[in-house]
Structure 1
Amino acid sequence: MPNLRKLLYPFSVLYKGLTDLRNIGYDYGYFEVARYDFPVIAVGNLNTGGTGKSPMIEYLVGLLIEEHKVATLSRGYKRESKGFQLIGSDDNAAKSGDEPLQFKNKYPELLVAVDADRRNGIAKLRNEQAEVILLDDAFQHRKVEAGYYILLTSYGDLYSQDLVLPAGNLRESRKGAERADVIVVTKCPPEITSVEMEKIREKLKANDKQKVFFSKIEYSNKIYGKYDIKNLNDMKQENYAIVTGIANPAPFIDHLKKAGLELPHLKFPDHHIFTENELSQLDKYEGILTTEKDFMRLKDSRLKGKLYYLPIKTEIIDNAEQFDSAIKDYVNKNEV
């Protein structure tokens, strides 16, 4: 924790107290909670920043969509639209936000919706015959009680080693992890050992009912543009650049460096909405490589002819069959 942030610790104590009171209100029934008799799975985290929620949602979609009518429900961060929106493949990020549009483009048969009011969104998706609903970034959304909670925490940035905002990066106290059915340590290095996994399990202190799994990011060796597909090595050109607008681009950049791709990196804030002036500056590059999420915001801009993204996916690297079975068992036992 940076030394300057230590000065904010008294405010963290106050913030923790407020979030603890809120959670007590929901835990003891002082606040109204919506519960459902069909499968609702929430994916989220305790830490702020990127822990790999979107790849995990896509993993769950791929796991379930062949046998069930699956829907995703997100808030639609930084979208310009209001209220409930059912997203189509031809929509833009201004209507949906970047991640929901990414889901729809990858799985056209998937029901994708955005709504800040999760109760309303769930009701509308049931009207669309959704059988399983995946709630994106909903771990702290206590007005809705999911039937199954998946808590993500990044390798090297475990929630058990962090403090509540603003001195740390936790949205609520570590005790909130007790709501999780499974905990997934994301973005692990491929060479992680069983000994290191066990040490991390000890740090997380999961309860007896919780299982801890580990996952890594798997990168494609192809890059995708609006009009064509290329090999990643094709980006090794002069006057090419990497552009990111995600919470933690470090794993993405590290992977590209290991692949021998060392290009200028233009880093923007998470979910950044690019201005015309910024697009003009980026337009001077002959080719631009970005993340799939950023591509959704930029694919219809003036950059579209020179813009490519590198797909990623989540891979469970220990007990994958056990993880898959746990999800499928929950869905099959609760599907109406």
Structure 2
Amino acid sequence: MDFLRKILFPFSLIYWAVTAVRNFLYDKGIFTSHSFPVPVIAIGNLSTGGTGKTPQTEYLVRLLSGNYKVATLSRGYKRKSKGFVLADSSSSADTLGDEPYQFHTKFPNIRVAVDADRKNGIENLLSLFPKPEVILLDDAYQHRRVKAGFYILLTAYGDLYADDLILPAGNLREGRSGAHRANVIVVTKCPQGLSAEAQDIIVKKLRPEARQKVYFTCIDYDNALYSEEGERSLEAVSDVLKVLVAGIAKPKLFFDHVKGKSDIALAFPDHHDFTEKEIEDINKQTKDKLVITTEKDFMRLKGRLPKEKLFYLPIKSRFIAGGDDFDKTLLDYVGKSTANR
């Protein structure tokens, strides 16, 4: 891998130059960034994926939706629709993409929309009645046509952007200097017992600016598995034979948490669109086994595998420390922004 990175490094310099010029033109106002009269929060990363954007976005929905009319706006990666689409009762993973469809299913009290053109998407959301009071931009850190009021930059523990290279030699979509746009930096997928000393080492490696706060979160797994027909405790199926299916960027944590000695683990690319042949192969391996998948994959697999066998394991993002301060920082931003509208 190191040898391959050395070969690709010259191409990374070209990629870096292109993204650096683009960011410079936006920073200097030569390219126009559009602002809007509502709080807009962008959640994203510098890398190509696997930082836990979905649970972090859901955390913000839970934090804000009790007091504000919240909308999420995503690109709708791998959806089969085009342009602006607002979620409704006829929506599916095909029309919205798996993650927005998950938001729509879990949070019926918020607006969920998709549009690759985030400016157009926000304009469409603001034309609705009642219009949203807060807009969450999912995976929009590099979408510079929109100037968000607050940026949350995610980076995964054990895969920090400070240790990575730009594409194609590494996994960064832009240079590490792009971190300067963040209001806060969240290190995700940390071990639950990460010590204060270990956190300090990471902070020094990330080298945040004085105005930037760094927080640490871990993944909390639910104690139950859910299906279209009901739920079962995770403990109750610990000795049951299972086929684990994950189409996410970095499935190791999921497999490690669920997998028993005799279970089968099937890993697919992130946002994978399962073919009929793959569904047939999964069915053949299932027989007397349960199929356990991630919540995101469940959105694409339900209706295609026997519902009495197909279960998913929900996850949440939990702050190891400083959660109250993070909440206050976000609520203060939204409160001041709505008051100044």
Q: Which residue of 170, 192, 204 maps to 2:194?
A: 192
Residues 140-188 of structure 1: CA distance to partner in whole angstroms, max 9, x if unpaired?
0001010000000000000011111111111000000000000000000
Secondary structure of the residue that 2:321 maps to in structure 1? coil
User: What is the RMSD computed on CA atoms of the aligned residues?
Assistant: 1.3
Is residue 2:322 matched to residue 1:319?
A: yes
- CA–CA separation in structure 2 for the residues paired with 1:226 and 1:207: 47
Q: Deviations over 1:243-275 (max 9, x none)?
A: 010111011112224xx5751101111111111
TM-score of the superposition, structure 1-length normalised? 0.97
Structure 2 residue 192 is matched with structure 1 residue 163 = no
SS at match of 2:318: strand
**Greater mean deviation of Cα atoms: 65-74 or 275-284:** 275-284
Partner of 1:180: 182
Assess if the C-alpha contact under 8 Å between 1:236 and 1:261 holds in 2.
Answer: no
Equivalence for 1:307: 310
Structure 1 residues 137 and 303, CA gap change in structure 2 (3 angstroms): same
Partner-residue secondary structure (3-state), 1:283: helix
Gap runs ≥5 in structure 1: none
Superposed displacement of residue 124, structure 1: 1.1
Using a 3 Å threshold, how does the CA distance of structure 1 residues 160 and 214 change in structure 2: closer, same or farther?
same
Q: Quick one: percent identity of the two aligned structures?
A: 53
Q: Distance in 1 between matches of 2:166 and 2:276?
A: 37
The whole-number CA distance in structure 2 between the counterparts of 1:89 and 1:209 is 43
**How many Å separate the matches in 2 of 1:325 and 1:161?**
30
Query: Unpaired runs of 5+ in structure 2?
Result: none
Q: Quote the residue 2:6 is aligned against.
A: 6
Distance 1:261 1:58 in 2: 32
Query: Counterparts of 1:1-336 in structure 2 under 5 Å?
Result: 2-88=2-88, 90-128=90-128, 129-236=131-238, 239-257=241-259, 260=260, 263-284=263-284, 285=286, 286-335=289-338, 336=341
Q: Partner of 2:25: helix, strand, or coil?
A: helix
**Pairwise CA distance, 1:287:** 1.5
String of CA shifts for 1:274-321, please: whole Å, max 9, x gaps: 111111111120310000000000112133331100000001111111
Give the TM-score normalised by the residue count of structure 2. Answer: 0.95
Contact 1:89 1:105 in 2 (8 A): no
SS, match of residue 143 in structure 1: coil
Deviation string 1:117-151 (CA, Å, 9 cap, x unpaired) is 10111011112211100000000000101000000
C-alpha separation in 1, matches of 2:36 and 2:76:
22
User: Aligned partners of 1:303, 1:245: CA distance in 2, in Å?
Assistant: 18
State whether residues 298 and 304 of structure 1, in contact with CA within 8 Å, keep that contact through their aligned partners in structure 2: no
| Structure 1: distance between partners of 2:262 and 2:204 | 37
Amino acid at match of 1:187: K
